[in-house]
Structure 1
Amino acid sequence: MTTSPFSASAPAVVRVRIDEADAGQRIDNYLLRVCKGVPKSHVYRILRSGEVRVNGGRIAPTYRLALGDELRIPPMRIAQKASSAPVPAGAALPVIFEDDALVVIDKPPGKAVHGGSGISHGVIEQLRAQRPEARMLELAHRLDRETSGLLIVAKKRSALKVLHDMQRAGEIEKHYFTLVAGAWRNRLQHIRLPLFKYLAADGERRVRVSDEGKSAHSIVRLLRRVGEFSLLEVELKTGRTHQIRVHLSHLGYPLAGDDKYGDFALNKRLTATGLKRMFLHAARLRFVHPLSGETLDLESPLPPDLSQFLSSLEGGRA
């Protein structure tokens, strides 16, 4: 994670040598990231005017930085913000796999992957607070706040770019466990329904099945039926927002505990009987390591809160 080389009190020309952590990033995105407090319009103005130089020459805002590039950034005064409380490091996040290119953590439920929308900090901010020496830590993908399980964080820009390319190509296998209301019929079922993102009347982001939307493909496997519920494994072939939740609820099988697309009367009953959040867990990732070429097959067991609730259902107590 590159720290800003700029000062609010004594602006001056800054020269930066691009290392492996920043190689491959667009120059405009790099400047927006490191020049915290500088207006976006000003960053693009100095790029268009040629005040930013790479290896002594002018470059376009879309130029991708290369390893060893020498970057000249003109003086910029950064607006000072009111001091804010530092992100608490908190308990160490469980690590499933780590090397010099990436780290895969087992995200706890109830924690957003990043700050924003009224959330002061999330998993990525906590990870950075726990590892202040890290040159770079960036999310390779996302999980909903209530969803627990496997989350990839890149430690190198080169790894992040490859991971993003792999996701767009559908080359990262993602498997989830979920519990839905109703008796799911098929042992194996492909769901291909396009998903459309929109803003609800209250300004909240929502998704619905619509021909206006983007293609989305989920593969559902029935693991077992539990009373009036079904335990499913869902493999995502695309990574659309709220894909599992919307696909299954559209077919009449809402996720237990889903407060956006679920059965609200049922959720109220489930809360009283022990389910405190949405029953969705990112259980398995299988992909080729972006730099080494090694095949990684990583798993996270069902966490205690979901496992215990499932046991209570199977015992007939819920």
Structure 2
Amino acid sequence: RRPIAADAGHQRGLLHRLDVPSSGLILVAKTHAAFGDLQLQLSVGEIARDYAVLCHAWAPPRLRRISRRVCCHEGLPCVVHRRGKPCVTEAKVLAHGLRSGRALSLLAVRIATGRRHQIRVHTSDGGLPTVCDGRYTAHATFSSDLQWCPR
């Protein structure tokens, strides 16, 4: 049997990754058995996926549960749409701040589902686009973000 790292049918062991402009950990199995075990844990919600997200604008101070369907088509930005896949994101405000007179919010985010661009789409749709996001933030805002928050 081939090592999982050579098995494209099992995504070479890759179970969970972040979007390219994001930073953080990825989840990779080293064996086929571990891949099956971890895939099951992800599907039943046994693995918590928590993130710190810096957003533009003031977020409401209470814990928010965002349950909006997200629709993605190859090559296009994902959007909230009634025909999209169900997505659940929980967000809690950790801090508010200002940068050059513009409001920012730091969120603790947990995703129950792991859809493509889920956090970025949910925050942007709620009026809180993530800092330094060239896909879901206005071009002028993104260009400004690159000056103080490059990746």
Query: What is the match of residue 143 of structure 1?
Result: 18
Correspondent of 1:262 among 127, 132, 137: 137
Partner of 1:179: 54
Distance in 1, Cα, partners of 2:61 & 2:25: 27
Q: Which residue among 75, 81, 87 is the counterpart of 1:210?
A: 81
Report the alpha carbon displacement of residue 146 of structure 1 after superposing the two structures with TM: 2.1
Deviation at 1:224, TM superposition (A): 0.3
Q: Percent identity?
A: 31
Deviation per residue, 1:166-223 (Å, 9 max, x gap): 2122221000111111000133110000111113xxxx14311011011100000100
Q: Which amino acid aligns with 1:175?
A: D
- Cα distance in 2 for partners of 1:205, 1:158 equals 35
Question: In the TM superposition, what are the counterparts of 1:274-313 in structure 2 within 5 Å?
Answer: 274-277=148-151
Alignment of 1:252 with 2:146, yes or no, is: no
Cα distance in 2 for residues equivalent to 1:271 and 1:239: 27
User: How many Å separate the matches in 2 of 1:194 and 1:155?
Assistant: 32
Deviation at residue 236 of structure 1 after TM alignment:
0.4
Moved >4 Å (runs of 4+) = none
Aligned residues: 145
- CA distance, structure 2, for counterparts of residue 143 and residue 270 of structure 1: 20
1:96-137 C-alpha deviation (Å, 9 max, x unpaired): xxxxxxxxxxxxxxxxxx9xxxxxxxxxxxxxxxxxxxxxx6
| Higher RCO (Cα < 8 Å, 6 or more apart) | 2
Query: Residue 17 of structure 2 contacts residue 25 of structure 2 at CA under 8 Å; is this kept in 1?
Result: no
The one-letter amino acid of 1:229's match is L
What is the aligned partner in structure 2 of residue 15 from structure 1? none
What is the SS of the residue equivalent to 2:45? coil
Cα distance in 2 between the residues matched to 1:247 and 1:207: 10
User: Aligned Cα RMSD in Å?
Assistant: 2.2
Q: Deviations over 1:242-267 (max 9, x none)?
A: 00000000011100110101132112
Question: In 1, distance between residues paired with 2:104 and 2:130?
Answer: 10
Instruction: Name structure 1 gaps, 5 residues minimum.
Output: 4-20, 22-29, 34-113, 115-136, 278-318
Query: Which one has the bigger helix percentage?
Result: 2
Q: Does 1:191 align with 2:62?
A: no
Aligned: 1:2 with 2:2: yes
3-state SS in 2 of match to 1:180: strand
Give the unaligned 5+ runs of structure 2.
Answer: none
Aligned to 1:219: 90
- What TM-score do the two structures reach when normalised by structure 1? 0.43
Tell me which residue corresponds to 1:170: 45
Q: Write the distance in 1 (CA, Å) between the matches of 2:107 and 2:150.
A: 19
Contact residue 55 and residue 129 of structure 2 kept, 8 A: yes
SS of residue paired to 1:140: strand
One-letter amino acid of the counterpart of residue 275, structure 1: C
**Paired residue secondary structure (2:135):** coil
Question: 2:122 and 2:14 mapped to 1: Cα distance?
Answer: 25
